[in-house]
Structure 1
Amino acid sequence: MWTGTYTPDGGGRAEGIGALRADGNGRLEWLGTAVDAQSPSFVAVHPTLPVVYAVAEQQKLVQAYRRAGEFALEPLGAPQPAGEAACHVASDPQGRFITAACWGDGQVILYELDSDGVPARRYPAPPSVDPHASLSPGEPRQSRAHASLMMQDGRVMTTDLGHDTLRIWTYEAGTGLVADHEVVLPFGSGPRHLVQHPGGNVFVVSEYSVEVFVVRLEAGTFELVFRGPATAGGALEGDSAAEICLGADGRFAYTGVRGSNRISVLEVGSDGSGLLPLKDIDSGGDWPRHHLVRGPWLHVAHERSDNVATFALDPGTGLPGPVLHDAAAPSPTALVPAD
């Protein structure tokens, strides 16, 4: 498993992309720094080639790396320019391109890949327009793209945390991302990360309002069908939501909340159109930036306490038990399976 991190230029203590190994009992072992890099806060893996992509958030770059041994990486090709505070990178399941979302200026950039997985051409997407502009006249809000989701139908959905909008794009070779349509979320919600349920609905967690939203596909267009709390106990002062992921069978979703440092378990409605909070648990560290479910285990990366906490999930209730294992890892900001 690769870890995105913050290095000193981003206020962290890491040296680059990290590597963890899981044993058969879900316990993680810190293997060390796979490659020196400047604040690679999010990483992605090519679907077929031994290539890893990372943003350099403070440097406004995206870089490809080639695997060079069991857990080592080496730079592949030249770094590619990105936008301000490039904070997320995602890989096309067919290996045609990667996308980078830039929190600082709202850019979404597509990079077409050559046969070796190296970014060869760069296509910035059209700039966004704030659909809520009339609610804050004279105070324009900055677009803040935060994540990209490669969807089941081949389109790409991106979050705009600054403009409270989900944008859906189609990919055209030689052109990049072409705007398809958008879904406007409530003013001030701040959609951050998202995941697609096997049934096709997309679940979104909002950073500012600490809520979850469900958008459903109808005749080629997504529409908002659900809005609810992201936690069982409600948002507390200073909270901000970070990540949402699904359990292995899609019956439960898991949200992470920084500040009060909680992981919340939500039950997915029978038709995938609603999320019911069941229980909040202590995340096992400080500032749960990212988490994922891998088999029967939930791994939670804590940016400020330099650890990844592992929980065993009850197969019936979806609830985590006590912390099973705690692995030291410097300033982890993302957990991405290497294979």
Structure 2
Amino acid sequence: MAENIDGTLIWTGAYTADSDGNGWGIGAVAAREDGSLSWLGTAVEAPSPSFLAVHPTLPVVYAVAEAAQTVRAYRRTGLFGLEPLGEAWPAGAAACHVAVDPSARFIVVACWGDGNVLLYGLDDDGGITSRFAAPPAKDPHAGVEGGLDIATGGPRVSRAHASLMLEDGRIMTTDLGFDLVRVWNYFPDTGLLKDHEVALPMGSGPRHLVQHPSVDAVFVVTEYSIEVVVLLPGADGRFALHRRGPATAGGADDGDAAAEIALSPDHRFVYTGIRGSNRISVLAVEGSGTRLRPVADVPSGGDWPRHHLVRDGWLHVAHERSNQVTTFALNPATGIPGDVLEQVDVGSPTVLVIAP
């Protein structure tokens, strides 16, 4: 174990052997001021912690176990280690995403396999105390001719994929299988109750999402159509589809699947990850935050860029299939990544989060 951590601590999620991955659990990486990374070791062994989220004030991280269909809290111990905080809680099939309430009241887990959206209450120490299942989604495109589940080719099924804590306290979730975005309100003794929903074009596949804090616009990357959808709230607080456009500057290739979307800290640029052709695409934020213009596509530096993190002028990309995290310096004027600065070996990385 290193005597000190030189730089910012980043935790890495991964696929482990139960999902045919090469990871061992939640990993620890040090990100130095010059953008370079160094592998510190495995923070804690865990089964396929494919997505992570950190507590807003405590040294606690939450991880879904995708194959085991659970979610668990871990607390920091020592310089970069983690230890379980309570038992693992049941989730749903292919639990693939977790997000934390900024007020630390709850976490929300999305499950790709069965469409479940689950809320878990938290105590003052960050431990999980309760579980509530949200009402299931209904397909807004039901009965439309030609509607099939793109993942299987069979009938369309609900596939919840991500959640976002909105600036006004509500929660927004995506359903990749039903091409649906839902907005929820939180009730302590009930969990999530639906406020309203927005149907997106059939076959688009809304995956991950991020909010522009100045105008409340939400940018949603679509896995199947390789687009970014801009949702804007009206005077009544209900979101509606404002515009949609390509998630890349050069178009999509056969076999492409969009993955992550991230907003730069200064809110001037959006970065999308495209698996298949293995690109990071840069989009300029225009129209006071309501319009995106594709600027450039850059090779991601590895195979299958599943997730990426933008911080302090650097871009870190987690490549699931080539077992590495790649670092780029970002041009401060154009937002475009330069040449690959460094690569560090990490087994089947799936997510990168900055430790509190």
Return the TM-score normalized by structure 2.
Answer: 0.94
Cα distance in 1 for residues equivalent to 2:103 and 2:79 = 24
The aligned amino acid for 1:274 is R
* 1:264 Cα offset (Å): 0.3
* 1:66 Cα offset (Å): 1.1
In structure 2, relative to structure 1, the CA distance for the partners of 1:138 and 1:49 (3 Å cut) is: closer
Q: Paired residues, what number?
A: 339
Residue number in structure 1 paired with 2:177: 162
Residue number in structure 2 paired with 1:302: 319
Among 294, 297, 305, the residue aligned to 1:288: 305
Unaligned stretches of 5+ residues in structure 2: 1-9, 149-154
Establish whether residue 322 from structure 1 lines up as the match of residue 331 from structure 2.
Answer: no
1:133 is paired with a residue whose SS is: coil
Among 209, 218, 240, the residue aligned to 1:194: 209
Residue number in structure 2 paired with 1:121: 130
Cα distance in 2 for residues equivalent to 1:145 and 1:31 = 33
Cα distance in 2 for residues equivalent to 1:41 and 1:224 = 30
* 1:134 Cα offset (Å): 2.1
Establish whether residue 59 from structure 1 lines up as the match of residue 68 from structure 2.
Answer: yes
Residue number in structure 2 paired with 1:205: 221
Unaligned stretches of 5+ residues in structure 1: none
Among 70, 73, 77, the residue aligned to 1:68: 77
Establish whether residue 4 from structure 1 lines up as the match of residue 26 from structure 2.
Answer: no
Cα distance in 1 for residues equivalent to 2:309 and 2:212 = 14
* 1:271 Cα offset (Å): 1.9
* 1:136 Cα offset (Å): 4.1
* 1:37 Cα offset (Å): 0.4
Residue-by-residue CA offset, 1:145-177 (whole Å, 9 max, x unaligned): 000001100000000000001100010111101
Among 256, 271, 274, the residue aligned to 1:239: 256
* 1:51 Cα offset (Å): 1.0
The aligned amino acid for 2:351 is A
Cα distance in 2 for residues equivalent to 1:165 and 1:271 = 26
Aligned pairs for 1:28-43 within 5 A: 28-43=37-52
Establish whether residue 227 from structure 1 lines up as the match of residue 244 from structure 2.
Answer: yes
Contact persistence 2:179–2:205 (CA under 8 A): yes
Cα distance in 2 for residues equivalent to 1:83 and 1:303 = 23
* 1:137 Cα offset (Å): 7.7
Aligned pairs for 1:84-99 within 5 A: 84-99=93-108
**Identity of aligned pairs, percent?**
65
Residue number in structure 1 paired with 2:161: 146
Contact persistence 2:147–2:156 (CA under 8 A): no
* 1:270 Cα offset (Å): 2.7
Residue number in structure 1 paired with 2:234: 218
The aligned amino acid for 1:156 is I
266-275 or 249-258, which deviates more:
266-275
* 1:105 Cα offset (Å): 0.3
Cα distance in 2 for residues equivalent to 1:37 and 1:136 = 43
Among 265, 268, 271, the residue aligned to 1:248: 265
Residue number in structure 2 paired with 1:22: 31
Cα distance in 1 for residues equivalent to 2:287 and 2:199 = 25
Cα distance in 1 for residues equivalent to 2:145 and 2:347 = 40
The aligned amino acid for 1:55 is V
The aligned amino acid for 2:40 is L
| Runs of 4+ with >3 A deviation | 136-140
Cα distance in 1 for residues equivalent to 2:162 and 2:28 = 22
Contact persistence 2:273–2:280 (CA under 8 A): yes
Cα distance in 2 for residues equivalent to 1:137 and 1:26 = 48
Cα distance in 1 for residues equivalent to 2:279 and 2:40 = 27
Residue number in structure 2 paired with 1:271: 288
